[in-house]
Amino acid sequence: MFFYRSVLFLSLLFTARSLNQDGLFLQRVKLGLSDPAHSLSSWNERDDTPCNWYGITCDNSTHRVSSVDLSSSELMGPFPNFLCRLPFLTSINLMNNSINSSLTDDIATCKNLESLDLSANLLVGSIPASLSELSNLKLLNLASNNFSGAIPAKFGQFQKLEWISLAGNLLTGSIQSELGNISTLQHLLVGYNLYAPSRIPSQFGNLSNLVELWLANCNLVGPIPESLSKLTRLSNLDFSLNRLTGSIPSWLTGLKNIEQIELYQNFLSGELPLGFSNLTMLRRFDASTNHLTGTIPIQLAQLELESLNLFENRLVGTLPEGIAKSPNLYELKLFNNELTGELPSQLGLNSPLKWLDVSYNGFSGNIPGSLCAKGELEDLILIYNSFSGEIPESLGKCDSLGRVRLRNNRFTGIVPEQFWGLPQVYLFELEENSFSGKVSSRIASAYILSVLKISKNQFSGSLPMEIGYLGKLIEFSASDNMFTGPIPGSLVNLSTLSMLVLEDNELSGGLPHGIQGWKSLNELNLANNKLSGQIPDEIGSLQALNYLDLSGNYFSGKIPTQLEDLNLNQLNLSNNMLSGAIPPFYAKEMYRSSFMGNPGLCGDLKDLCPQEGDSRKQSYLWILRSTFILAAMVFVVGVVWFYFKYQNFKKEKEVITISKWRSFHKIGFSEFEILDFLKEDNVIGSGASGKVYKAVLSNGETVAVKKLSGESRKDNTNHSSEKDEFEAEVETLGRIRHKNIVRLWCCCNTADCKLLAPAAILHQVFHLCPYELLIRNPEFGEKDLVKWVCATLDQNGMDHVVDPKLDSRYRDEISKILEIGLRCTTAFPIGRPSMRLVVKMLQEAGGMGHKPEADKNDEKPSPCYNEEVSDQGSLV
């Protein structure tokens, strides 16, 4: 027994002794790290050398460690300074771990280091200036950490550095002009930091070996310096997301090796330079969201571009034909300019065109039949132009199409059969054109369709029952057409349907059986058709319903009392043949216009129905008489009111008088009712601009009232600009009918205060969400905003979503608010936070320091809801 033990002991001692010095240092490295994924399990003390360990490379002849690559190994803990004890180490790669310390000057003892990659970790503190003492260093990657402070000026002393990335940190100060001293530099990537406003250092023009210059989101101001014209080896130039002014310099067209130019989201003005013809390598050009004027140069369109983005400028003229010859063009986004003329007739014939968006221009002519010749077209977005003619038959074979948006053009004719049934289409928008003919039953094959909008056309025939097979349909609007026949019974199977708008057609028959299947239905508008039969009691089970308009039909029978189970924002049963009593909850004066024009309807609302026994003549007389009396009363009251008002005005009494009251939607309460609720007890939130009160009105509705604090100022100029702002906001909010935005019901403007009364719509769930306020508008679609945000967030990170006008120092707050916004727009109301929680979250977001995100492509899981219901963000 004893013998056995000692043998074991001896053998352990023996193996431990055999590990060489490099191995022993690496064991110390291992001890300092936490390794939950057991990435370092092969780092075995019993080996002679570490040369076969995971991540270790040795020199073939000396067997000394030359490289340590522990990237993406889920390691945690401080930076392992013991690595620098390895005398022949030339490369350290700890990319994508959780190294969470700061870097110390000890790093300078890694003196043979040629490559140091610590990107995507949790490193904090300042960047040690001593790094520049590593005279052999060629690559330094510290991107995507939380380094703060300024870039060390000593970095100008690097001897051999070719590649430096400090992108995506919390660096402040300005971009060091000393970096322009590193003549060996080929890649300079320092974007996405928190620098103070500064100009592009003209010294960068000295970096004659530079291939890549990435200064996106660096708070750059002023013009692009002339000295950069010397960077003739440049292949990738990215100045996007800054505040650069001046014009796009003409010397840019002399950078003959350039492949990619990103200038989007700046304040560049003037015309695009002409001489692009020498840039034969240019593949991507993006100068969108600037103030560019003039035309698209013919030379630019003659290059072999893969991607051309010039959206959101003020460009005029036509799209040069030459663009159609570019063999690899897959992305063409020109929306929101003032472009005219026709699209090149061969567009798409020679290239794998994938994303075409020329919305909001003055384009005319036909859709080129070749757009999908290579079978790659996913986005066909032509909204708000003057395109005409028919949809080419060839597009019916374009199975790759995902978004078809042709709204507001002058298209005519019959939509090709196959075009209705494209298998990948999820957004299909033909609104506001002059299309005719039927909706084809082939629509059944568009089985992932979630938004189908064909309103305001001249479609006719009956709606195919196949629409009811589209199990992912969320929104179907076909109003203002000439549809006849019944509402297909199959529609009740659409449990995700949120919006069904079929008003102003000639539909007949009754509501289909089984409408309780519309579990998500939010808006049902069947007004002005020829529908008949009873309104089924099941209507009361549509828990999500808040907009119900069945006016202008032939519905008969009793109004189901179950309507009282709903929280309706809008109800209209006017102009039908309904009879019997009005459900007690609705039998109130303010709902009068919801029930008018139903001859058989009676109830507590006595004068709504004709008085029994009265002859027609008598009732007319009665109406005439009462109108006269009413008018007289109004006159007298008016005169008296005016008198008192005038007296008050003269005395300048300190009472709240409503000088201006405007309602934007039909409301069932008066301003005076609201005033009663402006007490401390009812405060549910407050902000810089005033307090928000909860008001429960006599009609049972709950609204939020915002009282904007504005001292009555005597200073006239000040007052008028403030007033303008208020007026402007009110105008906008009042006009918007977007369900993601709190609906502004009304406002009043008094000498002492300003009140806004947005609707609060469902129970205590209060949808005061910051939504749209943050977002930059990519292509002006109103309905798929949430989807767009989610998709862009996932693919490109927050900066592609957030309005660039927002101060990037508040990135973190913005990100939090964005998150809150997304939670508020979860498809189903039940998943959304209550107002109380929203307020809490907003307060928390507001209380944070001004720190940005760690990385542009931050991979934080977004709270976006799942794909099945994601195509529509407009559910309330």
Ligand X SMILES: *[C@@H]1O[C@H](CO)[C@@H](O)[C@H](O)[C@H]1NC(C)=O
Binding residues for ATP: 707
Which residue in the set 24, 108, 122, 298 belongs to the binding site for ligand X (CB under 6 A)? 122
Which residue in the set 15, 130, 418, 493 belongs to the binding site for ligand X (CB under 6 A)? 493
Binding flag, residue 489, ligand X (CB under 6 A): yes
Q: Minimum distance between the CB of residue 311 and ligand X, rounded to whole angstroms? A: 26
Binding flag, residue 124, ligand X (CB under 6 A): yes
Binding mask 343-382 for ligand X (x = CB under 6 A): ----------------------------------------
Binding mask 33-52 for ligand X (x = CB under 6 A): -x------------------
Q: Pairing mode, if any, of strands 362-365 and 338-341?
A: parallel
Count of positions on this chain that bind ligand X (CB under 6 A): 45
Binding flag, residue 529, ligand X (CB under 6 A): no
Of residues 446 and 765, the one with the C-beta less far from ligand X:
446
Question: Footprint of ligand X on residues 656-675 (CB under 6 A)?
Answer: 666
What's the rounded Cα separation, in Å, for the pair 467 and 497? 11
Q: Minimum distance between the CB of residue 156 and ligand X, rounded to whole angstroms? A: 2
What's the rounded Cα separation, in Å, for the pair 451 and 464? 16
| DSSP 8-state secondary structure symbol assigned to residue 407 | -
Q: Minimum distance between the CB of residue 96 and ligand X, rounded to whole angstroms? A: 4
Binding mask 63-102 for ligand X (x = CB under 6 A): ---------x-x-xx------------------x---x--
Name the E strands within 733-856.
744-749, 753-758
Burial class of residue 278, CB neighbours in 10 A (0-12, 13-18, 19+)? middle
| CA of residue 227 relative to chain centroid, distance | 38
What's the rounded Cα separation, in Å, for the pair 671 and 662? 10
Which of helix, strand or coil describes residue 383?
coil
What's the rounded Cα separation, in Å, for the pair 152 and 103? 13
Q: Segment contacting ligand X (CB under 6 A): 111-119, 379-387, 569-577, 684-692?
A: 569-577
What's the rounded Cα separation, in Å, for the pair 758 and 761? 9
Binding flag, residue 536, ligand X (CB under 6 A): no
Question: Footprint of ligand X on residues 839-868 (CB under 6 A)?
Answer: 851-854
Q: Which tokens go with 876?
A: 């309330």
Question: Footprint of ligand X on residues 730-789 (CB under 6 A)?
Answer: none
**Contacting residues for 650 by C-beta, under 8 A, at least 6 apart:** none
CA angle in degrees (0–180, nearest 5) for 312-316-322:
100
Q: Segment contacting ligand X (CB under 6 A): 197-205, 214-222, 614-622, 785-793?
A: 197-205
Evaluate whether 305 touches 353 at the Cβ level (below 8 Å): no
Of residues 92 and 398, the one with the C-beta less far from ligand X:
92
Binding flag, residue 812, ligand X (CB under 6 A): yes
Question: Footprint of ligand X on residues 570-609 (CB under 6 A)?
Answer: 572, 574-575, 593-594
What's the rounded Cα separation, in Å, for the pair 564 and 541? 10
Q: Segment contacting ligand X (CB under 6 A): 11-19, 176-184, 290-298, 716-724?
A: 176-184
For tokens 């939020």, name the residue. 704
Question: Footprint of ligand X on residues 538-557 (CB under 6 A)?
Answer: 551-552
Q: Which tokens go with 526?
A: 């069947």
Of residues 254 and 533, the one with the C-beta less far from ligand X:
254
Residues making up the binding site: 707
CA distances from 606 to 28, 62, 556, 628 (A): 91, 104, 19, 20
Evaluate whether 399 touches 424 at the Cβ level (below 8 Å): yes
Q: Pairing mode, if any, of strands 702-709 and 690-696?
A: antiparallel
Burial class of residue 465, CB neighbours in 10 A (0-12, 13-18, 19+)? middle
Which residue in the set 32, 205, 389, 509 belongs to the binding site for ligand X (CB under 6 A)? 205
Binding flag, residue 468, ligand X (CB under 6 A): yes
Give the interface with ligand X as residue ranges (CB under 6 A). 34, 60, 72, 74, 76-77, 96, 100, 122, 124, 146, 156-157, 159, 178, 180-181, 202-203, 205-206, 227, 253-254, 275, 277-278, 468, 489-490, 492-493, 551-552, 572, 574-575, 593-594, 666, 812, 851-854
